[in-house]
Structures are given as structure tokens and as C-alpha cells.
């Protein structure tokens, strides 16, 4: 029997807890969820969520670290960014790079 992976959309807060709040009461459950996603299902999040994560963490990261996070997060969590996490992708009425430039400030 051909088993197809289920797709699960992951919201911003799940990544933020894992990346910054190790003392959160939900950290272990959250970490178990991310491990499950990486192993058994197809995890996705949106480019808007990825930009939100970069924006939230920009208060504690420098420009290089933010850019590395932007490119590395999908690999770290074995997820896909929809529609894309290409820096040249276009959001309605703006460029992702323009949003990232605002975050870098």
C-alpha cells in the first residue's frame, strides 16, 4: 500500500517557542510535535510566517543571523515554505527583500 504523507501547516508560535523559549511550559510538547512533523508528515508554513519569525527574532539577532535564519529554518525543521522562500519572490504590492530590509534595521 502506498502511504502518502499528510501535510500539516505550522504556525509561527511553534517555531518561536522552540527557538527562544526553552523554559516555556509547552516546550517539550512543542519539541515532540516538531520532531514528529520532521519524521512522519510533510510540514509547511507560509512565507508570511517565516517573515514574522525573522521579525520577532530580529530584536536579538544581527543582519547576518536573520538572513541565515531565513534560509536555514526550512532545513532545520524539514519543512517547506509556501509559496517559496526565495529572497526575490514577490508578495502582493511588495518584495520580500523590502520586508527583510525593514526587519534588518
Query: Does residue 99 lie within any of the structural domains?
Result: yes
Confirm whether pTM is higher than 0.85: no
Query: Does residue 96 lie within any of the structural domains?
Result: yes
Q: Are 92 and 72 in contact (CB under 8 A)?
A: no
Query: Does residue 1 lie within any of the structural domains?
Result: no
* Dihedral over Cα of 18, 84, 60, 58: its sign: negative
3-state secondary structure of 47: helix
Task: Give the count of domains, the chain.
Answer: 1
Query: Does residue 35 lie within any of the structural domains?
Result: yes
Here the cell at position 6 is 499528510
* Predicted confidence pLDDT, tens digits, the chain (105 residues): 346 778 899 999 999 999 999 999 999 999 999 999 999 999 999 999 999 999 999 999 999 999 999 999 999 999 999 888 888 887 767 778 877 776 665
* DSSP letter assigned to residue 4: P
Residue 64 structural domain: 7-104
Amino acid at each position: 500500500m502506498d502511504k502518502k504523507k499528510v501535510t500539516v501547516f505550522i504556525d509561527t508560535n511553534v517555531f518561536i517557542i522552540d527557538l527562544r523559549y526553552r523554559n516555556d511550559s509547552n516546550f517539550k510538547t512543542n519539541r515532540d510535535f516538531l520532531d514528529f512533523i520532521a519524521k512522519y508528515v510533510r510540514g509547511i508554513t507560509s512565507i508570511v510566517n517565516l517573515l514574522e519569525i525573522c521579525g520577532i527574532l530580529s530584536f536579538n539577532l544581527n543582519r547576518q543571523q536573520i538572513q541565515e535564519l531565513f534560509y536555514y529554518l526550512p532545513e532545520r525543521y524539514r519543512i517547506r515554505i509556501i509559496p517559496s522562500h526565495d529572497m526575490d519572490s514577490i508578495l502582493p504590492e511588495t518584495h520580500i527583500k523590502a520586508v527583510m530590509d525593514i526587519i534588518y534595521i
